Structure 1
Amino acid sequence: MTAFASRLARHWLPPALRHALNRMAGQTFRYSGRFDTWQEACRAADGYDDKRIIERIHSAALAVREGRAAWEQDGESHPEIILNFPVLACLAKATRKDDTLRVLDIGGGFGSSWLQASQGMPDIKLHWTIVEQERVVSLARQDFNNQGVRYTHSLDEALATNEYDLALLSSVLQYIATPHAILDQLASSEIKWIVIDRHPCSNAGEVITIQHCPRRLYKATYPSWLFDCESLRSKLNLTHDLALSWQGQDQPIQGDGFHASFAGMCWKRRGEHT
């Protein structure tokens, strides 16, 4: 599809029809299968640590560093930084009175959310730590060590410092083998704020499926959770109050007998004052 045709379709076609055409053309993520365990899904997929995925995201991040793009997300380059206003609102709520903010970004890649925050909150002094896979951390320390972000591959090590105001989980829990254990760990920590964004909420309870990347990105598959978000809210509500929620901008998921839509949530530890 030419750039002109793409712009025309984006402005004039109904969203449902546009999404259906993109699916037919292999331009969107698709989902297949239902599995009883995460291990079964892993055996049927490439895996999120697939070398091709990391190479694609790394290449897009290098394009940003070298000025050939302004921002990247999920390995896709953009000519401008797309601000995520609900997440920025949460970051603003968590900012300290001295205009500093300490963020623990779990699954933050090469810093795309940090770049959004830096652009959207230029007067705030950000202290940003990203927890990622060892290969991503190694590449980040090699190529992005001077951009003001700290990288680690150990969540336990990061939490041991006890120095964060907010934990950010953007499009990450669905790709972790033990997402509930991660949430339990954060809920029992001393971090005041938990922000969950681009989070898939299923209409059929909790589902383990396989996500297929669109051809425009890379040919890869990996396991994915789709969550019972009411259960998640009930769990977090034991220790936190929901401060803000919003609908995600990612396209809804259609799978084998299920569908899911994306959501965002901002939680504040009960009893904490800003």
Structure 2
Amino acid sequence: MNYLLKQFIPPIFRTLYWYSFKYGWKGDYENFAEANKIAKGYDEQSIVEKIRETTRKVVNGEVAYERDGIVYDNPKMNFAMLSTLLHVAAENNCNLTVLDFGGSLGTTYNHKKLFLKSVHNLNWCIVEQPNYVEIGRKEFEHDRLHFYYSLEECLQHHQPDIIIFSGVIQYIEKTYELLDQIRMSGVKYLYIDYIAFNDEDRDRIAIQHVPPEFYGTPASYTCWFYSKPKFYSYMKQHFNLMYDFIADPDKYYIQLKPFFYEGQLWKLKSN
């Protein structure tokens, strides 16, 4: 009976329920500290263990792909990212060093590695929270995949050609301070995708409520909805915009206000 009832509910109502009334993005907080009193965070041990389990299945060849604790048999290819990585590698005589900020236990690396086999010297460096780094170093690290606690630690061992923020940057509290560190590091390219913007002239802080289908338990994260003019104004002071794009054609909602996930490739300006 529930199945039959669902067939009569227009898709828009199911979407609004999913992204506005039960899960999805809610709130307008003064600062991260206020929101963090409510949000649980990505480093919850149950979430870490779920991702550890699904990553192990990918590495063992039991499943094709995992992201956020969900396994996929037929993952979609992120062609914008793949073409960018191959372009950067071609500029560097088929050598490539990637700094994957917030790269979990190797989600993006495992997805792209088959398409990067032609890269002669590949170093994929992940900067993550301590519990992810500890598991990554113990169970998943090898000669091409490395885990670090911070940007500074990674730069002590590698000089990245490109830094990737894939669905990550909006969860970083001091975003602009980190971007300052990145531009001062001299890394040439900065690739950002799955970033959401506020349609106002201010940055908005919200909480993303994640359904249990992802981790086996409900989760919640504090996140930014950046003012697009402010974000682009900062970036264009220091980087040239190579291209931007819609990262996901699906429309999402923050309390009935629609938004799309977007992305950009930036190139550091020469001094």
TM-score band, normalised by the shorter chain?
A: 0.7 to 0.9
Residue-by-residue CA offset, 1:158-181 (whole Å, 9 max, x unaligned): 134451110111111111121111
Question: What's the CA shift for 1:260?
Answer: 2.9
**Which of 63, 77, 81 does residue 69 from structure 1 map onto?**
63
Instruction: Provide closer, same or farther for how the CA distance between residues 68 and 249 of structure 1 changes in structure 2, counting only shifts above 3 A.
Output: same
Matched, 1:239 2:238: yes
Q: Which residue of 1 aligns with 2:17?
A: 24
Q: Indicate the structure with greater helix content.
A: 2
Q: Using the alignment, how far apart are the partners of 1:104 and 1:169 within structure 2?
A: 9
Q: Using the alignment, how far apart are the partners of 2:111 and 2:61 within structure 1?
A: 16
Letter in 1 for 2:255: D
Residue-by-residue CA offset, 1:27-55 (whole Å, 9 max, x unaligned): x9511111000100000111221122212
Q: Which residue of 2 aligns with 1:44?
A: 38
Q: Which residue of 1 aligns with 2:211?
A: 214
1:253-268 correspondence runs (5 A): 253-256=252-255, 258-268=257-267
The answer as to whether partners of 2:127 and 2:151 remain within 8 angstroms in 1 is yes
Instruction: Provide closer, same or farther for how the CA distance between residues 36 and 266 of structure 1 changes in structure 2, counting only shifts above 3 A.
Output: same
Q: Using the alignment, how far apart are the partners of 2:250 and 2:75 within structure 1?
A: 20
1:34-183 correspondence runs (5 A): 34-95=28-89, 96-125=91-120, 126-146=122-142, 148-161=144-157, 163-183=159-179
Instruction: Provide closer, same or farther for how the CA distance between residues 232 and 222 of structure 1 changes in structure 2, counting only shifts above 3 A.
Output: same
The answer as to whether partners of 2:16 and 2:253 remain within 8 angstroms in 1 is no
Q: Which moved more, 1:180-189 or 1:89-98?
A: 89-98
Q: Using the alignment, how far apart are the partners of 1:161 and 1:254 within structure 2?
A: 41
The answer as to whether partners of 2:205 and 2:224 remain within 8 angstroms in 1 is yes
The answer as to whether partners of 1:166 and 1:194 remain within 8 angstroms in 2 is yes
| TM-score, normalised with respect to structure 2 | 0.86
Instruction: Provide closer, same or farther for how the CA distance between residues 22 and 117 of structure 1 changes in structure 2, counting only shifts above 3 A.
Output: same
SS for the counterpart of 1:227 is strand
SS for the counterpart of 2:196 is strand
Letter in 2 for 1:66: N
The answer as to whether partners of 1:131 and 1:151 remain within 8 angstroms in 2 is yes
Structure 2 residue ranges without an equivalent (≥5): none
Structure 1 residue ranges without an equivalent (≥5): none
Q: Which residue of 1 aligns with 2:181?
A: 185
Question: What's the CA shift for 1:75?
Answer: 1.4
Question: What's the CA shift for 1:22?
Answer: 5.1
Letter in 1 for 2:118: D
Q: Indicate the structure with greater strand content.
A: 2
Question: What's the CA shift for 1:215?
Answer: 2.6
Question: What's the CA shift for 1:20?
Answer: 4.2
SS for the counterpart of 1:33 is strand
Question: What's the CA shift for 1:147?
Answer: 6.7
Letter in 2 for 1:190: G
Cα RMSD (Å): 2.5
Q: Using the alignment, how far apart are the partners of 1:52 and 1:142 within structure 2?
A: 18
- What count of residue pairs does the alignment treat as equivalent? 259
Instruction: Provide closer, same or farther for how the CA distance between residues 51 and 33 of structure 1 changes in structure 2, counting only shifts above 3 A.
Output: same
The answer as to whether partners of 2:189 and 2:267 remain within 8 angstroms in 1 is yes
Question: What's the CA shift for 1:229?
Answer: 2.2
